[in-house]
Each structure stands twice: as structure tokens, then as C-alpha cells.
């Protein structure tokens, strides 16, 4: 409510599922919270009558057939609200029109005050209970990775590995996966979002696994890249450049640090290794009730990290193949690591087949640094 008052309104309407759950505990798919004069009321429909009362303790609960946001608006109007902040990033144009029509004519003009992310900003800082849930979700992620490794063989398809991983996740109590499982083998590891397909894993090549569970409403997110068969020197180089970038970013994380500086910590390592263009996405994101929340760990992000934020750090490098050629520029390679034997040659490490590497951990920002919630799962080079 303080957030709404800051915006100048005396009332606040929330309709986004994650916001409603965050403030009330209510997990139904259809609900709206109206706040006025320090009192919060949850509106939902008959399907959720018992559930709303059980979950949204301390809130007044109103059940009605009409859409919850219409109920909420009518109640606010009849309770003397004069201006109501709503989330313009969530509310559709059509929904706002319907809400306006639910108001008495004299109130319509200027009643609704568009804001964005009022609750999403609060949700960035996790309380102890949320940290505990995210810690459990992250721990399950680590366990799943350890268990699924025995299925990561060249006789398996990406889909079979994903199926095993998801099966074990469900048996471990996950409500669902927190996003589409990525199992990307061989050349498909060069796709940043290579969701599992019926493609067979390679006899020789990387396999990237990026996955998370939804546990008690909260998301986990982690990525590991392993190698099947014997790797080339370049594969080894790129892996360790990404790992170095990831560790540099993790080392940069602490309350008070700008998100852009954490991103740059990872990006500068990959730049020195000649892999800047091969790292085309941001370094990380907040995670909680939703898989992608604030803050964004990306270039030009001025936001300051705060203790209690839970974020991912996930740099990667993706090299597309070009028959007979090298994806790395020779000059860039010259700036690379010592295992590069003859960095002046144009074809020291030809990348006939593309490949990619990403390493991702989930971590809790603390005053002095951070705690890696997925630390139980090793990031060491793994040749299976």
C-alpha cells in the first residue's frame, strides 16, 4: 500500500497471480486483491471458496461469480476510494475498459492510475521463508543433475534424458518444471534455448542441461554442460573461459554492487578470450515465484544488488559451425589461454561443427558477497 501511496493513489488493485500469491498466500488461478485504508480484500470465484479461506489467512475473502477484478473495482468504488493504482504491464487494454465500465460514471475519469511492477519490486527481496523454499528447490536441482548423469550417454536422445530428469523431479515432489527443460547435445548445444528434442546425444561433444523445478510455488534454475567422449582443445578452452567468466561474476556479487558491473565481470573475461560475440545474452536474472524476475544482470543495468535478492549467474559461449573454418578469430585466440598451441595459425582449432557451453548457478545476495544455492553440484570439467 505504501507503494500505491507513493504513486499518489489511495487504493491499489493487484491481479497478477504471482503478486496475489506473494501478498496473500492464495494460489488459485483467478483472484484479485484490493487494498484500501490499510485493509486488504481478496476477490475470487466459487471454485476457490474453501481454498481462498484456507490459504489467505488474515484477509477478508469475497466469493462471487463475476471476474475478480470487476468485483474489486465495484467494492473500491462503493467504499470511497478516489484513485486506484493498477499494474499497466499486467492489465490488458480490454480489461481496463471493463473495469472502467464497472465504475459509476462520475468516478471514471482519472480513477485508474497506471503503475508498473510495484509488487514485483518488493518480490525481488526474499524473506527467510522464501529463501528456505528457494534453497530447497535449488537443492533438488542439484540432486536431479547428479542422478540424471547416468542417462547422459550417446545411446540416449535429448528427450529421454529430459523425461528421466522430469520424472525424478516429480517423484521428488516438484509441482512441475519451472520452464521447458533444455537438453542440447552436440551442435545443438550452440543454441542458447535448445529445448530437448528427439535428437540423439553425440558420441563426442557437449551436452548442455538447463532446467529447474517448481517447488511449493518457487522456481529453481541451473545449467551444467558436460562432455561426451574426448574433447578437443578448443572445447576445453571455451569451457574454462565460460567457467572463469562465471566465477568472476559470482565473485563480483554483493549487496551494493551495480548489476551492470556483475555483468561486466563475466563479459570482460569472455572478451579477453575472444568470445565476446559468442556471449549474446545477459549474465543473469532474479528468480522466485516466477522463473524470470528482477533484477536483470545485464549491461547498462544501473540497479543495485540488495541482500536477500536471489539471482542466477549464467554466462555462455555459442560457436556456430562453419565447414573447415574456425569460429574464433586468430587474434582473439592469441589472447586466450596457454593450452592454445599455435595461436597464430588460422586453423589451430577449426570449428566444423558448432558447439556451446553455459554454466549457471543460483545464488543469494548477502551483505558481504553471496551464497551459491546450487553449490552442491560441481562445475568441474566433466568428460563422460
Residues that bind a copy of itself (CB under 8 A): 46-47, 88-97, 114, 116, 159-160, 162-164, 166-167, 170-171, 173, 175-176, 180, 192-193, 195, 198, 280-281
Q: Which is nearer to a copy of itself, 47 or 346 (CB)?
A: 47
Task: Label residue 229 left, alpha or beta by phi (over 0 means left) and psi (-120 to 50 means alpha).
Answer: left
User: For the CA atoms of the chain, what is the radius of gyration?
Assistant: 24
Smallest gap from residue 297 Cβ to a copy of itself (A): 17
Smallest gap from residue 121 Cβ to a copy of itself (A): 15
Q: Which is nearer to a copy of itself, 150 or 233 (CB)?
A: 150
Strand residue runs (E) in 293-360: 293-297, 310-313, 316-319, 355-358
Smallest gap from residue 264 Cβ to a copy of itself (A): 19
Helix (H) or strand (E) holding 216: none
Q: Which is nearer to a copy of itself, 164 or 343 (CB)?
A: 164
- Residues paired with 87 in a beta bridge: 115
Cα of 326 vs its chain's centroid, Å: 32
Smallest gap from residue 114 Cβ to a copy of itself (A): 6
Contact call for residues 243 and 359 (beta carbons, < 8 A): yes
Contact call for residues 202 and 353 (beta carbons, < 8 A): no
Q: Which is nearer to a copy of itself, 283 or 343 (CB)?
A: 283
Q: Which is nearer to a copy of itself, 172 or 307 (CB)?
A: 172
Smallest gap from residue 381 Cβ to a copy of itself (A): 27
Give CA separation, 217 vs 101, 129, 288, 289, 293, in Å. 34, 12, 8, 6, 14
Q: Which is nearer to a copy of itself, 192 or 308 (CB)?
A: 192
Specify the 3-state DSSP secondary structure of 358.
strand
Smallest gap from residue 92 Cβ to a copy of itself (A): 5
Pairing type for strands 205-211 and 182-185 reads antiparallel
Contact call for residues 329 and 274 (beta carbons, < 8 A): yes
Contact call for residues 149 and 193 (beta carbons, < 8 A): no
Count CA atoms closer than 13 A to 93's CA, side-chain side: 0
Looking at residue 274, what DSSP letter applies?
T
Q: Which is nearer to a copy of itself, 172 or 255 (CB)?
A: 172
Smallest gap from residue 348 Cβ to a copy of itself (A): 27
Amino acid at each position: 500500500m505504501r507503494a500505491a501511496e507513493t504513486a499518489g493513489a489511495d487504493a491499489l488493485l493487484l491481479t497478477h497471480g504471482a503478486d496475489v500469491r506473494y501478498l496473500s498466500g492464495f494460489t488459485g488461478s483467478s483472484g484479485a486483491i484490493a487494498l484500501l485504508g490499510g485493509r486488504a480484500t481478496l476477490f475470487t470465484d466459487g471454485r476457490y471458496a474453501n481454498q481462498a479461506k484456507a490459504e489467505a489467512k488474515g484477509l477478508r475473502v469475497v466469493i462471487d461469480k463475476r471476474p475478480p477484478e470487476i468485483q474489486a473495482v465495484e467494492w473500491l468504488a462503493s467504499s470511497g476510494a478516489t484513485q486506484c493504482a493498477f499494474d499497466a504491464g499486467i492489465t490488458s487494454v480490454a480489461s481496463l475498459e471493463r473495469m472502467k465500465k464497472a465504475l459509476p460514471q462520475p468516478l471514471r475519469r482519472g480513477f485508474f492510475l497506471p503503475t508498473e511492477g510495484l509488487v514485483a519490486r518488493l518480490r525481488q527481496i526474499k524473506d527467510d521463508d522464501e529463501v528456505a523454499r528457494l534453497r530447497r528447490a535449488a537443492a533438488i536441482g542439484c540432486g536431479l543433475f547428479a542422478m540424471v548423469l547416468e542417462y547422459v550417454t550417446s545411446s540416449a536422445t535429448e528427450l529421454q534424458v529430459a523425461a528421466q530428469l522430469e520424472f525424478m523431479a516429480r517423484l521428488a515432489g516438484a509441482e512441475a518444471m519451472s520452464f521447458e527443460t533444455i537438453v542440447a547435445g552436440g551442435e545443438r548445444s550452440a543454441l542458447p534455448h535448445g529445448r530437448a528434442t528427439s535428437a540423439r546425444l553425440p558420441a563426442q561433444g557437449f551436452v548442455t542441461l538447463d532446467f529447474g523445478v517448481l517447488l511449493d510455488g518457487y522456481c529453481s534454475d541451473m545449467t551444467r554442460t558436460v562432455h561426451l567422449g574426448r574433447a578437443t582443445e578448443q572445447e576445453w578452452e571455451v569451457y574454462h573461459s565460460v567457467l572463469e567468466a562465471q566465477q568472476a561474476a559470482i565473485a563480483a556479487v554483493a549487496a551494493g554492487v551495480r548489476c551492470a558491473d556483475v555483468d561486466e565481470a563475466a563479459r570482460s573475461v569472455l572478451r579477453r578470450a575472444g568470445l565476446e560475440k559468442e556471449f549474446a545474452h545477459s549474465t543473469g536474472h532474479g528468480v522466485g515465484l516466477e522463473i524470470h524476475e528482477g533484477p536483470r544482470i545485464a549491461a547498462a543495468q544501473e540497479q543495485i544488488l540488495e541482500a536477500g535478492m536471489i539471482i542466477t549467474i549464467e554466462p555462455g559461449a555459442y560457436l556456430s559451425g562453419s565447414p573447415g573454418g574456425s569460429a574464433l578469430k586468430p587474434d582473439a585466440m592469441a589472447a586466450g589461454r596457454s593450452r592454445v598451441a599455435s595461436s597464430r595459425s588460422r586453423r589451430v582449432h577449426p570449428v566444423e561443427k558448432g558447439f556451446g557451453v553455459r554454466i549457471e548457478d543460483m545464488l543469494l545476495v548477502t551483505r558481504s558477497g553471496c551464497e551459491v544455492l546450487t553449490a552442491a553440484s560441481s562445475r568441474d570439467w566433466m568428460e563422460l
